[in-house]
Amino acid sequence: MEVGRITGGVTVRPARKGDAEGMLKVYDSFTRQFVGSAARTVKSFQRMLSGKEKVNWVALDNRGRIIGYVSARLERQMNRGEFREIAVDLEHDFVQVAKPLVEKVQSVLMEKKVSALQTTSIRNPLFEKLFPEFGFFESNTLGIFMYAVLDPRKLLDEISPVFITRLKQLKNWNGLVQIKCEGHSILLHKTIEETRQETWTNQHIDVKVELNEALLTRLIFGIADPIQAVQSGELKIETRLNEETSTRVLRWLFPRKQFLIMDYW
């Protein structure tokens, strides 16, 4: 067993089977800031921790809690080391924790005589800053993730909890929001006591937004700006609120987000 070491207040050591739960906590905390990540369980991490080709290391704080991990693997056909994921608990600085992990795993992979090391930014947008510092160069931008709505009514229903959670966190505003897409609507009602989805109401709608499937998709994944969409006429808005408040509600419902997906299929 390799001996752990402390780098800038962070101890790193090879991951063990029993680390699955701690790694899952870090994954859940880290991916909260993004959209797109897959749902995982302890079993997912137990699978990650098994297999000869895997190189998994964890970072610990001074109380011995897992605050970050890196998962890499040896791809035998091309004799290449692949950094698959790095996650760091949101309470800690990503670069400070990730750097000693990458440094260590890189040297472990090099000891295994790999000819090349590789990673992709879809697994983590923060790689774009991290890996060039380790002498990696950007080699292509040709991969793309695409998304299609199959059933707009069902999708609206399914994502209503996302909007409810966001509206709940919006301070100093209560009211009724209608989101309409391809002829289907959801009604979201925020009061002092609670925020909920309504089946139907005869109350006045405070903010009604109407959009097509493509724009809904881009807003869900945080790659479109709702205000620009209003200005371009892509997003139609009817409201009794003043511009400042309606802008605030729109920005709260559709925040800018970064996309990440660590699990390919």
Partner 1 sequence: MDKAVEFKVRNFRKGDEVCLAKLFSECFGPTTPRQLSEWLGKSEVAPEDIFVGVVDGKLVSHVNVEFRRLDHGEGIHLKTAGIAGVCTDSDYRRKGIVTNLMKRALESPRQKGVSNASLFTGLDFPAIRIYRRLGFVDIVTWRTYIKYVDYPAVFARWLRVLNRSLKYSKIMARKLEGWEKSVVVRLKEVGALSFRFRRGRFHRLKEPPKHPDIDFYSDMETYARIVHGAVQWDEAVKEEKLTVNHGEPADVEMFKRILLWRWDE
Give the interface with partner 1 as residue ranges (CB under 8 A): 28, 31-32, 34-39, 77-79, 110, 113-122, 127-128, 131-132, 134-152, 154-155, 158-159, 161-162, 165-166, 213-214, 217-218, 220-223, 257, 259, 261, 263-265
- How far apart CA 51 and CA 49 sit, in angstroms, is 7
Closest approach of partner 1 to the CB of residue 90, in Å: 12
In the bound state with partner 1, the residue whose beta carbon lies nearer, of 60 and 117, is 117
- How far apart CA 181 and CA 163 sit, in angstroms, is 14
CB 160 within 8 A of CB 188: yes
Torsion of CA 147, 150, 152, 156, to 10 degrees: -60
CB 211 within 8 A of CB 181: yes
Distance of CA 98 to the CA centre of its chain: 17
The neighbour count for residue 52, using CB atoms within 10 Å, is: 8
Place of tokens 């011995």: 64
DSSP state of 133: G
In the bound state with partner 1, the residue whose beta carbon lies nearer, of 60 and 109, is 109
- How far apart CA 54 and CA 74 sit, in angstroms, is 6
Closest approach of partner 1 to the CB of residue 203, in Å: 25
Closest approach of partner 1 to the CB of residue 36, in Å: 6
Tokens of 169: 């966190």
Closest approach of partner 1 to the CB of residue 20, in Å: 19
In the bound state with partner 1, the residue whose beta carbon lies nearer, of 145 and 231, is 145
- Name which of 215, 159, 219, 151 is nearest 186 in CA terms: 159
In the bound state with partner 1, the residue whose beta carbon lies nearer, of 9 and 132, is 132
In the bound state with partner 1, the residue whose beta carbon lies nearer, of 92 and 218, is 218
In the bound state with partner 1, the residue whose beta carbon lies nearer, of 60 and 123, is 123
Closest approach of partner 1 to the CB of residue 180, in Å: 16
Closest approach of partner 1 to the CB of residue 249, in Å: 16
